[in-house]
Structure 1
Amino acid sequence: MRHSPLPLRRAFPFTISTTALVAALAVVLVAATPGLARKTRAAQAVSTAAQAESAADLLVRSGREPRKILLVGDSFAQGLGLTMPQSLGQKSQAALANRGKVSSGLNSPQFYDWEKALTTYLDAEKPDVLLVMLGGNDAKNGRGTPQWAQDFSAKAKRFLDIAAGHGVTVYWVGLPPMREKAYSQRAWTANEAMRAACGAAGSCRFIDSWDLFADASGRFCPKKTLAGKAVSLRGKDGVHFTTAGCRLLTDRIVLAMADPR
């Protein structure tokens, strides 16, 4: 996967306007160092392959397994498409349509118009679940200011409005920390903007990835010890995932799908 222009915390009900909340979040995120919040999320337990296997089996037995999953996004989404079938398990009958587009984002419709593409894909594939991992390029090339965060959240909302019009359940996967500090800060800001849009949508659940790929302080962590073995989770570019990193994240996605909340 090339990189250069690069490439669910639970959904919650809003009691104030989305615009006001996003603006407030953005001001805090840009003005303050998010160390405390990162430490809190980094303390969350890492999902294991055994948990994912159990969740995949639960999906099948409960009848909640999606018939068809449409996976969209940038190069991160393409990576998830490689390991999602394994995370779903051998018993799975779910069909997966991977429509990731390298170097794409919500802020670059002149390169790839995701609103137009999503409509086309939803009409053609008719999925009952939409899985999204998008925003890596937007965070890489964006300014990360409060206004930028507000505008980006509005674009994510328009994206989700298209999904809502097709009656699909959405799982939106957040970005991980990045090796470059400034990029990582913008990724955090982008996550909060996407989380706000997802929370306001109602039919969207935001899946955090930050703690899976962060150390105890919430910073970029290229390796972790899993099942007693040190495993590389991130590529040499300090951005993308290894196969093991993709699998760790798709395992978490399956756990989220198995959770009826």
Structure 2
Amino acid sequence: MEKLILLLDRTAVLFIGIAVGAVIGLAFLGGGENGEAVANAPAPVIEAQETASADTGPGECAVQFNRSLTRSLAEGEPVQIGVFGDSFGDGLWAALYRGFRGEEEFVVHQFARQSTGFTRYRSLNIFDDIAERLDEQPVDIAVLSFGANDTQGIYTGNSGAAFMSEEWQEIVGGRVDAIVQLLRDRGAIVYWVGLPKMRRAAFDAQIQQQNGFYAARMRQLGVPFIDTVALSVDESGEYAAYLPNPETGARTLVRANDGIHMTGMGYGFLTRGLEQRIRGYVDSARAEAMRERERRNAGNAGETDGQADG
């Protein structure tokens, strides 16, 4: 019976990943919403790089340890992980949910919104939406992934900022900075997950421009940028619908037919390293929480001894 329940659960998560991926494809095909599309402007492609290596220690998120997280761990509370983003974020959530499934010390929340983006604030102001969600459910760790719907310009008043133009980067960069600061002010550490390689060359060029832009922004903010391009290509660095499973080596379907989004297993390929990084950071934070509790207990014992001596 337990094996049957586990199989059904895994199947459900797989279909979630495929379903949200299909929505991404529709969003891409539909272009901008509410007439917000602006002609694209040429911009140099910036090479996307991680802001920290995979074996970076607990200081990878700009602070050695998040005080809110260590406090939660010291009190035996589960780690609250929030996944924010567009439809691609839905797929990442499904993969992380599956990765942490059955572990009481981790709770993974789905906070992604389909068909949203930094160029679509007329449809949904992401900053306000995230603030409202944090009011309802605080998180210790925030995973962000945006850009799937942002290969378009932004209208500001009566003028338009073309995709990747200087004004576009200033507007989007300001919105990104505000959200990262919001999450940090609410006690969360932040990870940014980039987008994978796309099959259509012209669209992939736009996505890689965004990856480069966000990678550079995350370096400035001290936020780890998870480069997923290397996880979504074959040995020659080309787009691949099938890749070897890192655990079994079996040839596995990781992309859907539209050449844009991932399958359920594909999203798992992208989050495998991130899951390990989160576990490593939490383990280090837990050890620090134990040390703090021991220091606090020792201090309390010293005060008691002092009072007795007096």
TM value normalised by structure 2: 0.62
Maintained 8 Å contact 2:81/2:140 = yes
Q: Secondary structure at the match of 1:119?
A: helix
Please tell me the residue identity of whatever aligns with 1:5: A
5 Å-filtered alignment, 1:3-42, equals 3=24, 4-6=26-28, 30-31=43-44
Provide the rounded CA distance (Å) in 2 between the counterparts of 1:122 and 1:195. 25
- Work out the CA distance in 1 between the residues paired with 2:104 and 2:269: 18
Alpha-carbon distance between aligned partners in 1 of 2:80 and 2:264, rounded to the nearest angstrom = 23
Contact (CA 8 Å) 1:232, 1:244: kept in 2 or not? Answer: yes
- Please point out which of 181, 202, 208 is paired with 1:188: 208
| 1:81 counterpart = 2:102 | no
Cα separation, 1, equivalents of 2:229 and 2:251: 19
Kept after mapping to 2: 8 A contact 1:233/1:245: yes
The match for 1:50 is none
Give the distance between the partners of 1:209 and 1:236, measured in 2 at CA: 19
Shift of 1:100: 1.1
d(CA) in 2 for partners of 1:217, 1:66? 41
CA distance, structure 2, for counterparts of residue 250 and residue 213 of structure 1: 11
Counterpart selection for 2:175 from 155, 160, 163: 155
| Counterpart position of 2:233 | 214
User: Which ranges in structure 2 are unaligned for 5 or more consecutive residues?
Assistant: 1-19, 30-40, 55-72, 154-161, 285-310
For the 8 Å contact 2:142–2:190, the answer to whether it is kept is: yes
Task: Give the ranges of 4+ consecutive aligned residues of structure 1 lying more than 6 Å apart after TM superposition.
Answer: 63-66
Q: SS of 1:138's equivalent? A: coil
Q: Secondary structure at the match of 2:212?
A: helix
> Cα offset for 1:114?
0.3
What's 2:123 paired with?
111
Q: Cα deviations across residues 38-75 of structure 1 (Å, max 9, x unaligned)?
A: 8x99xx99xxxxxxxxxxxxxxxxx6996101111111
Task: Give the aligned length.
Answer: 216
Offset at 1:6?
A: 4.0
- Percent identity, aligned pairs only? 23
Structure-2 change in CA distance of 1:176 and 1:189 (3 Å): same
Q: 1:126 to 1:31 in 2, by over 3 A?
A: closer
Name the SS for the 1:136 alignment partner.
coil
**Aligned residues of 1:223 and 1:230 also touching (Cα < 8 A):** yes
Deviation at 1:172, TM superposition (A): 0.9
Q: Within 2, Cα distance between the matches of 1:184 and 1:91?
A: 37
Q: Which has the higher contact order (CA 8 A, sep 6+)?
A: 1
Q: Confirm or deny: 8 A CA contact 2:196 2:232 kept in the other structure.
A: yes
Give secondary structure in 1 for the equivalent of 2:182. Answer: helix
| SS of equivalent to 2:213 | helix
Matched AA of 1:124: E
CA distance in 1, matches of 2:104, 2:170: 39
Q: 1:110 to 1:146 in 2, by over 3 A?
A: closer
Query: In structure 1, what is the Cα distance between the partners aligned to 2:84 and 2:95?
Result: 14
Query: Match for residue 249 of structure 1?
Result: 270
Tell me, yes or no, if the aligned pair for 1:174 and 1:209 is still in contact at 8 Å.
yes
**8 Å contact kept, 2:117–2:126:** yes
**Structure 2 letter corresponding to 1:195:** A
Whichever residue aligns with residue 257 of structure 1, its letter is I
